[in-house]
Amino acid sequence: MILEAVDVKKHFPVAGGFGVGGVRGWVKAVDGVSVGVAEGETLGIVGESGSGKTTLAKLFLLLERPTAGALRFDDKDMSAFARDDRARYRRSVQAVFQDPYSSLNPRMRVQHIVAEPLPRDDGGVAKSERVAEALELVGLKRGSAGLYPHEFSGGQRQRIAIARALVTYPKLIILDEPVSALDVSIRAQILNLLKDLQERLRLAYVMISHDLAAARYLSTKLAVMYCGRLVERGTCDAVYGDPLHPYTQALLSAALPLHPSARRQRIVLSGEIPNPMNPPTGCRFHPRCPKAMPHCRTEEPPWREVKPAHFTACHLY
């Protein structure tokens, strides 16, 4: 495993009104999640807003510190990281964000944007060579380095963002909704590019997405989150082909197929995504679950390997 999270938790304090009055409660954004990703693999993390997938990405990027649990990088615990380890980690793990209109500084030229993750003491020539190399990898011309972001279309901007992630020769790239902000005719270009780069460079990806179709295209493993917890995990084909948890089933049935005659039996969930400050007792999904049983209300379902390498947390199994 390149990166592994073991029972990771991130709880945010909620302050009283106007920052006075102490802590009113805790938002358990990520509440005990274990996932891992190995070389050449893509771990897709899907879930709705508030499920904690972005917080998990922030933990991976060292933008937040976990409240509990361990993160391991190359089998080394990250809480024991020395300064050098941290620097090495930041070079090895890069990110591509959703909206290339806000993730690129409009006042910087492409060459400076792409070179930003490189250490300052790298020589100028070597630096511009690495930038040119990264730009070529993503299918942009070397000459693009002198231009500003506004001179590019949305798809090209996302290519610049990918070049910036590649410039440090990373092992792992966190993709946070990489195509959600792009036009439909451009999405295929970027998804194919990401797939090609993965094959050529043996990259690992963690792809955060609410777009189940895009996640299916890139992912080899899939983890489904609901209200801060993992409800199901397995290989991509297993989870899509035979979803075990009622939430995964509903989520997949709500994703609309691309053909009018392919209308499937839709499970329309009632109710709303619960407030993570005050999650339901027992299984967090029980108030919306069509198959809820009395003890779902009180007992939290254990994490179980229902089929080989296919896990879920549900009392049905």
For the bound state, the minimum distance from the C-beta of residue 115 to other proteins, rounded and expressed in Å, comes to 26
Q: Is there binding between residue 270 and other proteins (CB under 8 A)? A: yes
- Picking from 220, 275, 225, 217, the residue whose alpha carbon sits closest to that of residue 247 is 225
Q: Is there binding between residue 265 and other proteins (CB under 8 A)? A: no
Q: How many whole angstroms separate alpha carbon 16 and alpha carbon 18?
A: 6
Q: How many whole angstroms separate alpha carbon 54 and alpha carbon 188?
A: 23
Q: x/- contact string, 124-163, with other proteins (CB under 8 A)?
A: -----------------------------x-xx-------
Tokens representing 146 are: 């002198």
Hunting for tokens 């996932």 — which residue is that? 35
Among 261, 265, 302, 308, binds other proteins (CB under 8 A): 261
Span interacting with other proteins, options 17-25, 110-118, 130-138, 181-189, rule CB under 8 A: 181-189
Span interacting with other proteins, options 81-89, 112-120, 187-195, 308-316, rule CB under 8 A: 187-195
Which CB sits closer to other proteins, 147 or 188? 188
Q: Is there binding between residue 48 and other proteins (CB under 8 A)? A: yes
For the bound state, the minimum distance from the C-beta of residue 288 to other proteins, rounded and expressed in Å, comes to 8
234, 249 contact by CB (below 8 A): no
63, 86 contact by CB (below 8 A): no
Buried b (16+ CB within 10 A) or exposed e, 183-198: eeebbebbbebbeebb
Span interacting with other proteins, options 31-39, 78-86, 91-99, 250-258, rule CB under 8 A: 250-258
- Picking from 137, 89, 147, the residue whose alpha carbon sits closest to that of residue 113 is 147
For the bound state, the minimum distance from the C-beta of residue 305 to other proteins, rounded and expressed in Å, comes to 23
Among 131, 161, 212, 283, binds other proteins (CB under 8 A): 212
| Burial of 88 from C-beta contacts in 10 A (0-12 / 13-18 / 19+) | middle
Which residues make up the interface to other proteins (CB under 8 A)? 48-49, 153, 155-156, 183-189, 191-192, 195, 210, 212-214, 216-217, 236-237, 240, 250-263, 266, 268-270, 272-273
